[in-house]
Structure 1
Amino acid sequence: MSYPIIMCEDNPIQLQQLDKLIANYILFHSNLFQVELKASNPHQVIDYLEQQVPQNGIYFLDIDLKSDLDGIQLASLIRQKDVQAEIIFVTTHDELAPMTLKQKVAALDFIEKDQPLEDYRQEIYDALEYAKKIIDETRTVQKKSFSFEVGSQVYNLDKSEVVLVESSDIPHRLNLYSTNGKFEFYGKLTELETKYPFLFRISRSCLINPENIHHVDFSIREIGFSSGMTRKFSIGKSKKLKKIIKETL
């Protein structure tokens, strides 16, 4: 598992230095981190977010980017696209730290540029290690739970309670069937499929939790669940479904 690193620094010399320090760190952690973008202006980062749709990225941002967007504004946009992002400000403007609270960007750290190189290097390395720790812990929790919002209420179910999630007849809404009832909420199956690896797509419009399968009739391509519900699965899913059932049992 690798973690994407994105840098945004308008000063080419400082960007090169930051890139070199991170590259040296990656030499000893090559399976953990991958530099995805070295940007000199915030719009390069925005383009990257739109095109790549990263998850759990680690972002090193200067605050004064000599652009129509500063680092704090960019961080707010990042947070909208990459909700679990870890944002680290590398700046000479640490007095602006309170602004990040006002903008609710939840920065992981502020690293002062104007300090001895050894101290600067160590703070960057410490920030990377801590970012990885936080992301790992978040993913561990996500593997064991399923969260969604209905209006102003946030629900957090244990993954064992999730039976299936499928598209609703209402555009942009999903139906969740759990062991405790049915819920309807706004969402996208593709995003849930990525966020919750325990879910398995059986068709274009349905994700299931294999743990709650009661039986499968491959002759008519139908899955029965412990709740009594049944759902059809695509013919191309048969082989994968047999493997998943074997692993689950």
Structure 2
Amino acid sequence: MKVFISDDQEEQRLWLTDIITAQLDELNFNYELASVWQPDDVLQAVKMTSGPNIYFLDIVLKQATNGIELATKIRDYDPDGFIVYVSVRDDMLPETLSAMTTPTGFISKMDLFNKAKFVPRVREVLTVIKKRLTTLNEAPEPTLSLHSGALLLKLKLTDIVYCEKVHGLRTARIVTEHQAYLVHKNLSTIKEQLGDSRFFNDFQSYALNLDKIVTIDFNKGWITMMNGDRLSFSRGTIKKLRAYYQTQE
């Protein structure tokens, strides 16, 4: 988890950093303080992290992008991140809500540099974040559960490398790194349970775990998976995967 503090007033940013990091340490957060604060730099850093991260954003930034606009863009890459506005513009609180950035908190700068009043507000927000992180971590890991004849199959989605349709039969093969399972289910039925962002389901005969892809040769139509299997596709088919990656850039 990274913590971003975006404020264009250096004195205020440094003071906020001292206050926020002290509270993070006291509450035993496992975090890394990001060194960037300008909107463009923050977005580039967010693209390189998996999240959820914590963002303390000033609303009025003397930049091309203000804090609310920055939060809106952050949501494209870190939908579960925790956004906290820290601003003297209390009147803009309704705007932060109408922009649908789903803020975790709003801390007024009216008492900035007054530790006695400011620290409890930071601690209150971080305590809420801590509780929500605990809930997220305790959530059950997504699984694929199937009944196929006498077989009851329950696999963690993270363990699945790919699923493929067995042609000519209403059967599919589910492949993990160490084993393969033949099930009497349509691949489309299986894909309904793979509604997880890690799977690419746009191939008619395959569902691929994007985290398990090792190499892709778009010219030859080859995809090598983490278990060593090399899957072959026509150029017309594999271009769907190329298009997906282009949307992630």
The match for 2:203 is none
Structure 1 distance, partners of 2:93, 2:197, is: 33
- SS of the equivalent of 2:62 reads coil
For residues 87-136 of structure 1, the C-alpha deviation after alignment (integer angstroms, 9 at most, x for no partner) is: 00000112211112221100000001112431211111221121121122
Identity of aligned residues (%): 20
- Asked if structure 2 preserves the Cα contact closer than 8 Å seen for 1:92 and 1:114, the reply is yes
- Which of the residues 40, 43, 47 maps onto 1:46? 43
Larger radius of gyration: 2
Query: Are 1:87 and 2:95 an aligned pair?
Result: no
1:90-169 paired onto structure 2 within 5 Å: 90-115=86-111, 116-141=114-139, 143-145=140-142, 164=160, 166=162
Query: What TM-score, normalized to structure 1?
Result: 0.60
Q: Residue by residue, what CA displacement relative to the aligned partner does 1:155-199 show, whole Å, maximum 9, x if unpaired?
A: xxxx76858462779xxxxx9969983226684459xxxxxxxx9
| Unaligned segments of structure 1, at least 5 residues | 148-158, 170-174, 191-198, 206-230, 236-249
Letter in 1 for 2:71: A
TM-score, length-scaled by structure 2 = 0.60
Count of residue pairs brought into register by the alignment? 181
Alpha-carbon distance, 1:71 to partner:
0.5
| 1:196-232 CA distance string (max 9 Å, x none) | xxx9x77749xxxxxxxxxxxxxxxxxxxxxxxxx99
SS of 1:5 mapped into structure 2: strand
How far, CA to CA, are the matches of 1:113 and 1:9 in structure 2?
A: 12
Distance 2:50 2:131 in 1: 18
Alignment partner for residue 227 of structure 2, among 219, 233, 248?
Answer: 233
Query: 1:58-95 CA deviation, whole Å, 9 max, x = no partner?
Result: 10000001111111110011111111100000001122
| Contact 1:5/1:58 (8 A) holds in 2 | yes
2:190 aligns with one of 182, 188, 194: 182
Change (3 A) 1:202 1:22: closer
* Unmatched segments (≥5 aa) in structure 2: 145-153, 166-171, 175-182, 201-208, 216-224, 230-249
Query: Aligned-pair RMSD on alpha carbons?
Result: 3.8
What amino acid sits opposite 2:129 in the alignment? Answer: A
Aligned-residue offset at 1:31: 5.2
The residue that corresponds to 2:243 in the other structure is: none
Q: 1:31 to 1:66 in 2, by over 3 A?
A: closer
| Amino acid across the alignment from 1:125 | R
SS of residue in 2 equivalent to 1:89: strand
